[in-house]
Amino acid sequence: MEIRVLNEADIQEVMTMKEAIQADKEALKLYSEGETEIPLRTNIDVEEFEGQNLYMPGLAGSAAGIKIASVYPNNIRKGISSVPATMIMLNEETGEVSALMDGTYLTRLRTGAVSGAATDLLACKNASVFALFGTGGQAQHQLEAILTVRPIKEVRVFDIDQERASAFAHQMIDLFAEKFEVEIKTVASSKEAISGADVITTVTTSTKPVFDSKDLKPGVHINGVGSYTPDMQELPEEIFAQASKIYLDTKDGVLNESGDLINPLKKGIIQKESITGELGQLVAEKTPGRQTDDEITIFKTTGSAVLDIVVGKAIYEKALELNKGQVIEL
């Protein structure tokens, strides 16, 4: 059995953000059209080390695989990723393992890309100001995805750790200076971040809202990325009542896992009928998108194995075509 092993550098060589965004759109369309088998992920707490292990198997079309991911916030102090992961791709005909790839980088890529997909489908076409909450391991690809799909001229970065926010902003300026014509700066408050912003992405581990909905600009598009447990909540509850369109990556995932939706639903601030649909339905043009420039739109993602599997398969196929990675035999 041959297994192709792909590290971060290999994946970067074969897969662009634009390609990942398209793969995410295809993945969510497959999911919403019932062409996948994606169980809810299994989360196992590792209390001794304040971590969680997540097991995410699935089948999307004929593509099959499982991602084993972990969330260990204390890893930051050790100088290693707080979200280590490995993606295992299977040969759809034989069930044998066909590839092992850096799941940490894959997670960052496909998660950034899904916000990019939602922004591409829902944000105002002339969006030019982007507010980014959180500067952890996911932040770079969240930023790159939005810059890829909209003509952003100003990025405002906010993090409760101002030193980390400043370091991140400088790194992103160096990284994207040649690719995008954009100003990237830190701000001192959440109000400063979102006032006049056209697109907002929250990618934190917060258990309470990170901004006040009163400060939002009409027509803003919001990506809620960080909340993936019932105890985590980044978005203010009242924003869901203000929104014209509410899209989820998967209803099963978000309604069972994210405090962003669980809490306002429990309190009766919104009803399930207030949810416009899954993003895959919008990709398939079976639900409405933005209709005016004043509408507030929200996309909430908790992640799904369907994204890993479809993006993983695209990476694997390009790696085969370009002969990238290391091949091992078992």
- What is the set of active-site residues? 67
Decide: 131 and 142 in contact? Cβ < 8 Å: no
Q: At what angle do helices 162-176 and 139-149 cross, to 10 degrees?
A: 50
- CA-to-CA distance for 147 and 143, rounded, in angstroms? 6
Closest CA to 137 of 115, 163, 109, 158: 109
CA 187-110-217 angle, to 5 degrees, is 35
| Pairwise CA distance, residues 75 & 100, whole Å | 22
Q: Give, in order, the Cα–Cα distances in Å from 178 to each of 170, 172, 175, 274.
A: 14, 11, 8, 42
Residue 10 CA to residue 320 CA, distance in Å, equals 11
**Which residue is listed with tokens 């989360």?**
43
Would you say 150 and 179 are in contact if contact means Cβ atoms under 8 Å apart?
no
Cα angle for residues 272, 273, 278 (degrees, 5° grid): 80
Exposure of 93 by Cβ count < 10 A (0-12 exposed, 13-18 middle, 19+ buried)? exposed
- Report how far residue 215's alpha carbon sits from residue 46's, in angstroms, rounded to the nearest whole number: 38
∠ CA(170), CA(8), CA(91), 5° rounding?
150
